[in-house]
Structure 1
Amino acid sequence: MTHPLRLPAFRLLFLGRTVSAVGDAVVPAALALAVLRATGSTGALALVLACAMVPKLLLLPLGGVVADRFDARRVALTTDLVRCAAQVAVGVELLGAGPSLTHIAVASAVGGTASAFAVPTASPLVAGTVPADGRQQANALMGVTANASRLTGPALAGLLIWAAGPGWAFVLDGLTFAVSALLLSMVRIRHVPVPHRSMLTDLAHGWREVRSRDWYWTSLIGHGVWNGAAAVLVTLGPVIATTRLGGEGVWVLMLQGGAVGLLIGSLLAARVRPRRPVLIANLGLATYAAPLLLLAVAAPAPAVIASYCLALTALGFLNPVWETVVQEQVPPQALARVTSYDWLMSLGAMPVGYALAPLAAHAWGEATPLVGAAVLVALSCAGTAAVPAVRRLTWQATPAPKPMAPTATTG
């Protein structure tokens, strides 16, 4: 097997994604500080974040259709250029005197819209540049890059904000998208053309591809619950850590431990190829119940930090393995649509967790939503073991993907 980085097309793709991942890792901290400096309002920050998230959620399925119908490389290149312009616009706004919240919100909405079309291209780009036997290693490399960026991003953001201000962080992120677009322009990938149909027919066909695979849609339920539970932990965890576990430093260490775990899991995925990949990966996700329960009972800080690191290691391992299985099992002409539904369920569950966690904590105490989330994660993720298709799916028994016959729709 040829190492993925020896393949010129994947090497260019990997370099471009690495550069843009570093830029993206800087932005969250810069955005929070920039908006708070400009407005002094957490409500304004929530508005800007919503402007980026809402169009992304609403347009993800459409993004999957576009990525399947057209060359994924061209779609990704175009969205890189749009996000470059959006981030530079925010940076310029912040560098000027009296930045406008409206302008920042509009630019964030443009960037969120572009992201909805960019996210579904990730899997087709890897599948189009790497042969099947090297995709798990390629996906793991992508995971290592993304997770290493999450680990170093906050520190880089702090240094950049201290040296030049948050506006330059956005300019830097915009430039990373420009570099990524330049590298993508030199990539050539295999593209499987999709028959010309209506947009609704393409959406319905993608959903049928999801429903036809029991191992896939049942796992998506578990993954969605996991993301909702993660939102509960992120909402209530800082309060418990600062008031009952020893202070703000505990929460920072917990987040850093999680980032280290993600990186370890990605590295592990490059070397370990379990016989039943979906079963093992989903059982690993069930370990997220541990930090939720330990936070609920205010266990000693070292135990909470260690359990969170372990749980995020499982997530770091799942992502490359899951992406490789999906690339192997789903027809290439439907891959972007199928993965867009995956992202939609995962991202859509998080606002639910953000909204319900404080309400439940106010009504019944902080422990109740944490315990409830732990039970749901354990049942939904470990419960996929009861699905025969999850237990039976192995690398060796993987059939060649066959596209479903399209059916006519009206409307």
Structure 2
Amino acid sequence: MPTTPTPTRAKSAAPPPRSVLRDPAFLRLWAGTTASGLATWALPFVLGLAVLHRELGAAGLGLVLAARTAGFLAAVAVGGVLADQHSRRAVVLWSALAAAVAAPLLAAGLGRSLVLMTAAAALAGAGQGACRPAFQALTAETVDPGRRQQANAAMTIAVRSSTLTGPALTALLTAFLGVRTLLLGIGLLWLVAALVPARGTAPAEPAAGPAGSTARAGFRTEFLEGVREARRHPWFLAGLAALAAVIALGYSTTSVALPLISRDRYGTGWVLAAAMTAYTVGALLGAVAIARLRPRSQGRAAFAGLAAYGVAPLSLMLPVHPVVVVAAYAVAGIGIELFNVPWFTATQREVAPEKLARVSSLDFLVSYGLAPVGLALIAPAIGRFGVTPVLAVCTAACFLVPAAAALVPTARHFSRTAPAARD
């Protein structure tokens, strides 16, 4: 007698991963990172308001901001080494506390001692620089690999939102609180960055390839180990080269040319304000999109996003309607986050965990170090050759260098291994 086969129960599908926004440890890290990003943005803006209120001269502002940048560049590499040698949480704590201490010193020196303000700005920059690579490495410790892209996108959204709403809110608060009080508020933001984040809870993802030596040596040796780790990843070196071109040429050129063209071609300042606002809104939209998008060729899609910045100088080079310039800046903002979020995520995934902070510090050295160099060189170049030829060269660089970087081995997926091998 034939038997009726017993029906088998279909295997239930694996539940989707829990949203990173419901993870208390990540939310604490997100709050700390957001506070540090807001404090970093707010300082030059508040000091600019001090110039408007005649509490600080233009030359003094330049000196203070230069000291801040110098402090950042000096500390970011040191912070990367320390964050790989010691607890990333401890490095975040002490570097953010240093920046917090700098805030009341800036307030005390405002209108009284430019020397004190310069020293305090250098301390603030050092705290900012030391905590950046530590925050990057702490993200890899706190968030499991499958949710890191969402986590990086969430942090970007918070920072971009602060940049979008911060100027109006800060200017409003100045009418009631004054510049010194706002400087103290920046110190409170750094206290949040120092005290709120928790220790990492998720194990770091194993790095591809052989692990590096764990023996501790001097700073130079430790830093060079990070450089050697970066060289193991051709896609990372290609990305740094593309970033260098876009920041030093594209970003710096548009920063100088946009105010000139807004004034001389269009005869109004609203093009400058609208373009910068559109850039930030575009970056927000890009971060929201990349939180869910998973392109098949992640690296090439990211480099295409980075190359999209070229439409900004291109729009300034051509005699177009001002709305086209504003739209071009929105596209540039979208593209920059389509690059940034996968770039950070891939670095956290592919780099040896014990060297992640040092490799991240190389990224920040390029990102923050080349911008002032480009700004210093672009203005004389425009004076010598004119705006249009300089914009043409920079537009070509923004398009061609990321395109060339996308052809580098391992750049297609931002990985030394195929996607199937990683899965």
- Asked if TM exceeds 0.5, the reply is yes
What secondary structure sits across from 2:294 in the alignment? Answer: coil
Partner SS, residue 391 of structure 1: coil
The answer to which structure has the higher helix fraction is 1
- 1:266 offset after TM fit, Å? 0.9
Q: Which of these residues, 357, 380, 397, is aligned with residue 376 of structure 1?
A: 397
Find 1:352's aligned residue among 353, 373, 381: 373
The 10-residue stretch of structure 1 (191-200 or 350-359) with the greater mean CA deviation from structure 2: 191-200
* Aligned residue number for residue 339 of structure 2: 318
* 1:180-329 superposed matches below 5 A: 180-184=193-197, 186-189=198-201, 194-228=214-248, 229-329=250-350
For 2:199 and 2:277, the matched residues in 1 are separated by 35
Q: Name which of structure 1's ranges 194-203 and 251-260 shifts more when overlaid on structure 2.
A: 194-203
Mind listing any 5+ residue stretches in structure 1 that lack a counterpart? 401-411
Query: Displacement of 1:244 after TM fit?
Result: 0.9
* Conserved 8 A contact 1:60-1:117: yes
CA deviation profile, 1:58-97 (whole Å, cap 9, x unmatched)? 3322221111111111100111111111112213443xxx
Relative to 1, partners in 2 of residues 1:204 and 1:307: Cα closer, same or farther, differing over 3 Å? Answer: same
**1:240, 1:298 within 8 Å by CA — same for their partners in 2?**
no
Q: Which runs of 5+ in 2 are unaligned?
A: 1-16, 205-212
What is the RMSD of the two structures over their aligned residues, measured on CA atoms?
2.1
- Whether the aligned pair in 1 keeps the contact of 2:50 and 2:56 (CA below 8 Å) is no
Shift of 1:123: 1.3
Shift of 1:41: 3.5
Q: 1:273 to 1:330 in 2, by over 3 A?
A: same
Contact 1:5 1:11 in 2 (8 A): yes
Alpha-carbon spacing, 1:157–1:398, altered in 2? closer, same or farther (3 Å)? farther
- Residue in 1 that maps onto 2:136: 123
Answer whether contact 1:285 1:381 (CA < 8 A) is retained.
yes
User: How has the CA–CA distance of structure 1 residues 399 and 122 changed in structure 2, closer, same or farther, with 3 Å as cutoff?
Assistant: farther
Find the aligned partners of 1:119 and 1:93 in 2 and give their Cα distance.
Answer: 26
Aligned identity (percent) is 32
SS at match of 2:406: helix
Larger radius of gyration: 2
1:4 aligned partner, one-letter code: V
Structure 1 match to 2:189: 176
In structure 1, distance between residues paired with 2:186 and 2:316: 35
Give the whole-Å Cα distance in 2 for the aligned partners of 1:29 and 1:360. 27
Find the aligned partners of 2:203 and 2:407 in 1 and give their Cα distance. 36
TM-score by length of 1: 0.91
> What SS does the corresponding residue of 2:293 show, helix, strand or coil?
coil
**Amino acid in the other structure paired with 1:209:** E
**Structure 1, 7-16 or 318-327: larger mean CA deviation:** 7-16
User: If the length of structure 2 is used for normalisation, what is the TM-score?
Assistant: 0.89
Number of aligned positions between the proteins:
397
Q: CA deviation at 1:152?
A: 0.8
Conservation of the 8 A alpha-carbon contact between 2:84 and 2:354 = yes
Secondary structure of the structure 2 residue equivalent to 1:299: coil
- What's the secondary structure of 2:130's corresponding residue? helix
Q: What letter corresponds to residue 247 of structure 2 in structure 1?
A: N
The worse-fitting range, judged by mean Cα deviation, of 131-140 and 368-377 is 368-377
